[in-house]
Amino acid sequence: MSIFQNALMVKGSPDPKSVNTKTPMSKPEAVNLTSSDTLSFSKFTTVNHYIPSSFIRFFFVVLFLIRLLGWQSTFVAIIVTAVSVPVHTMVIKRERAAQKGLVAARDKRTKAVTEALHALRHVL
């Protein structure tokens, strides 16, 4: 139920138990929030096992590189990897911003389609 708690709160209300009864959230918004939460959770569950194993792999890779290339080359490789982390972070932030725009566009489209279908029901 905690996934839907934010969707059911009155905007600007600090009380999580205050349910939006005066202006109910439209169905496309609720479906969109649910699908984005589900997508985020499914992405995490598919890759969460990499977190502990990556530290172990990193340790063995460093040991292997020290034996194979020497400590100087290994040190340079670690520095290059550390420098590339901020670039990767910037790319991820831009991707998240684009994803938010996509979610907003999908919500707008879903609202328009729902409104058109309701209009067709009234005509027919």
Has residue 26 been placed in a domain? Answer: no
Beta-carbon contacts of 9 under 8 Å, excluding residues fewer than 6 positions away, are 15, 16, 18, 19, 20
Has residue 50 been placed in a domain? Answer: yes
Has residue 92 been placed in a domain? Answer: yes
Per-residue tokens: 79: 């520095």
Find the domain containing 106 and state its range. Answer: 86-123
Has residue 111 been placed in a domain? Answer: yes
Has residue 58 been placed in a domain? Answer: yes
Task: Write down the pTM of the prediction.
Answer: 0.43
Has residue 103 been placed in a domain? Answer: yes
pLDDT for 46: 86
Has residue 109 been placed in a domain? Answer: yes
What domain count does the chain have?
Answer: 2
CA distance readout (Å), 31 to 34, 35, 99, 103, 117 = 5, 6, 16, 11, 17
Of 10-19, 42-51, 84-93, the poorest mean pLDDT is in 10-19
Could you give the CA distance from residue 77 to residue 75 in angstroms, rounded to a whole number? 5
Residue 90 and residue 118 in one domain: yes
50-107 tens-digit pLDDT: 888 999 999 999 999 999 999 999 999 999 999 999 999 999 999 999 999 999 999 9
Has residue 24 been placed in a domain? Answer: no
27-44 tens-digit pLDDT: 666 677 777 788 888 888
Task: Tally Cβ neighbours within 10 Å of residue 8.
Answer: 16
